[in-house]
């Protein structure tokens, strides 16, 4: 799957303690491949801290540090301001945070960066729960997914991070999927080159938290897109492009059937989830299309 020669020279260590099959590790490798070594990374606590490291060891060959769960964006803004003061507007400053650190606990700091137009790139890797501390539900956990705090299935849907970014009218925001690495890399490049704040929100299959066989991560990322559970689109200087406009959605069973987090659902609940996902997909895509026509 990888160009091994390139990987050998890569910026991510080959030894790290991510679980087998972890989607996050592949996201980190692709991110570093595109951004390169002139990058400073801010990582909060969470599974991504497996890469910022412990003590004086790090899994990344770039400068960076681990902040707190609530202040990734604020730390990144501070680094940006210091670089700017030294006349360096080129180095990429990257906040790289999980869903809990983004849509729940760090949202206020992120809103500040977006409102001030700080040139900070932000990636939210969304494994749809607080995984590192034991799979607690976050506001990005999807409808009916079981977590340790929603054992019989989350009664509400995901908070829409892209809508929040678009409400701030930031210059570049996009969703991405591990099932399309070329699309992901293209979006990383655009986000890096944006003169102002940029966001990539990427769904992150997590074998441990979603409870599936580790070899199925890419298959799951693909089914999430094909069933309409994860929608690919970009918001670029106010213009919307839908990258996963589908005529027919695949049945949600293809996505949820191999994940333990949905295994307790009754047939009625599965039908309800099917209706919820299809409805959301069609209504949301129509809304995005209306927004792009109005531009």
- Candidates 43, 62, 95, 99; binder of ligand TPP (CB under 6 A) is 99
Q: Is 138 in the site for ligand TPP (CB under 6 A)?
A: yes
Q: Is 205 in the site for ligand TPP (CB under 6 A)?
A: no
Q: Print the binding letters for residues 122-151 with ligand SF4: x by CB under 6 A, - otherwise.
A: -----x---xx-------------------
- Candidates 51, 96, 130, 184; binder of ligand TPP (CB under 6 A) is 130
Q: Is 203 in the site for Mg ion (CB under 5 A)?
A: no
CA distance 48 to 24: 7
Q: Is 59 in the site for ligand SF4 (CB under 6 A)?
A: no
- Judged by CB under 6 A, the chain residues 55 through 94 that form the site for ligand TPP are 69-70
Of 85, 86, 35, nearest to 63 by C-alpha is 35
Whole-number minimum distance, CB 16 to ligand TPP, in Å? 13
| Cβ nearer to Mg ion, comparing 131 with 220 | 131
What does 133 bind: Mg ion, ligand SF4, ligand TPP, none (CB cut-off 5 to 8 Å by kind)?
Answer: ligand TPP
| Cβ nearer to ligand TPP, comparing 28 with 35 | 28
Whole-number minimum distance, CB 127 to ligand SF4, in Å? 5
- Judged by CB under 6 A, the chain residues 191 through 220 that form the site for ligand SF4 are 206-209
Of 94, 76, 51, nearest to 200 by C-alpha is 94
Q: Is 137 in the site for ligand TPP (CB under 6 A)?
A: no
In the complex, which residues of this chain contact ligand TPP (CB under 6 A)? 45-48, 69-70, 97-101, 105, 127, 130-133, 138
């Amino acid at each position: 799957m990888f160009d091994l020669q390139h990987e050998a020279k890569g910026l991510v260590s080959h030894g790290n303690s991510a679980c087998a099959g972890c989607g996050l590790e592949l996201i980190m490798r692709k991110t570093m491949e595109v951004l390169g070594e002139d990058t400073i990374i801010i990582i909060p606590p969470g599974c991504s801290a497996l890469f910022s490291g412990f003590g004086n060891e790090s899994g990344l060959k770039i400068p960076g540090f681990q902040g707190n769960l609530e202040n990734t964006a604020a730390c990144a803004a501070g680094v940006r301001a210091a670089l700017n003061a030294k006349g360096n507007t080129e180095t990429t400053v990257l906040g790289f945070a999980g869903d809990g650190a983004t849509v729940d606990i760090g949202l206020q700091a992120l809103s500040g960066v977006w409102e001030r137009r700080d040139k900070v790139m932000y990636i939210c890797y969304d494994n749809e729960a607080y995984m590192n501390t034991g799979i607690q539900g976050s506001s990005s956990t999807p409808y009916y997914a079981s977590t340790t705090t929603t054992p019989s299935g989350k009664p509400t849907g995901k908070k829409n991070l892209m809508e929040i970014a678009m409400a701030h009218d930031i210059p570049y925001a996009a969703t991405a999927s591990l099932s399309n690495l070329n699309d992901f890399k293209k979006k990383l490049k655009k986000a890096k080159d944006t003169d102002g704040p940029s966001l990539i929100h990427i769904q992150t299959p997590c074998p441990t938290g979603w409870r599936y066989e580790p070899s199925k991560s890419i298959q799951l990322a693909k089914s999430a897109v094909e069933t309409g559970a994860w929608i690919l689109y970009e918001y670029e200087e106010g213009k919307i492009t839908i990258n996963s406009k589908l005529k027919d959605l695949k049945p949600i069973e293809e996505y949820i059937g191999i994940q333990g987090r949905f295994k307790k659902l009754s047939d009625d609940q599965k039908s309800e989830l099917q209706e919820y996902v299809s409805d959301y997909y069609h209504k949301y895509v129509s809304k995005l299309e209306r927004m792009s026509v109005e531009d």
